[in-house]
Structure 1
Amino acid sequence: MNREISRRRVISLSSASLFASLSGCSSLADQDETEQFTVCHLEIHNRDQHSDHTIDIHVQADGETVHQGTYDLPSATGDVVSDEELHPRDWFDGTVETLTLEGQVDDRERVGPREIIASQVSEQTEVIYRIEEGGTLGISTLVAGNACTREEQ
């Protein structure tokens, strides 16, 4: 009788081990389907009404530098914000898993790196570098809506 109990015990332990080892397999299949998002536009705004500013930006897509640039923006006037609109599809195909952004206004401290991952944003995203009063820099994202399709038309 001990022999039958041992056999049953071995079979139940084997079944439990097999189940435990296979339980993660379905999550491995999900890992192959990576989330991505499309960067439709990248805009730089100078909202500072008192000063012109020079901004240096650095953009990485999935760990690879795709754009570095320096832009001179005049001060904002009233409700009119000085801006520069860039098209990321000129640098890469626009679809990424991770976008890393950095920037520096004039000779102030560098802002970033700010990492944006697909699970944090909508499928179509717009990136904005924003110079506020006093030259402080903010980096944000917006849902682009139909901005990607508008660009292609």
Structure 2
Amino acid sequence: MYLKHGLYRFTLVAALFALTACSWIDGYSSTAHQQLLMLEQLHLQFISDAAAAPLDQRLLSYEDRQIRPLFSLALSDSDALRQSNLHVLEKNYQRLYRRVVPQERALTPFEAGILAQQTEKLYQQAINGEQQRSGK
């Protein structure tokens, strides 16, 4: 009898946890998916342009003015899980920006290649996560 009581309690707690977790996470959003694709494209373009010597500061500033508001917009219209993913992506971009622009030193082709691969993997994980949400 004790085993059944423990099983019922476990089942109840698991069900409550599942219901609570579902309320924290929205379903699939085509807008969020498109934002991730756009952010990835802009981020990879920034890496490519940051590898061109000499650095075109105007171009990098222009690209920065495009990507930062898009991060802000995506973060403002997101649930906690999306925000967490976007913060990781945004911090990755900010580290790159601080590495290139203030130092006025272009990335080497090797650095650009590694950064592009890492960035693609980060975005692909976020995009896959978005596609796995219910409602698609």
Q: TM-score range by the shorter chain?
A: 0.3 to 0.5
Structure of higher CA gyration radius = 1
- More strand by percentage: 1
- More helix by percentage: 2
Q: Structure 2 length normalisation: TM-score?
A: 0.35
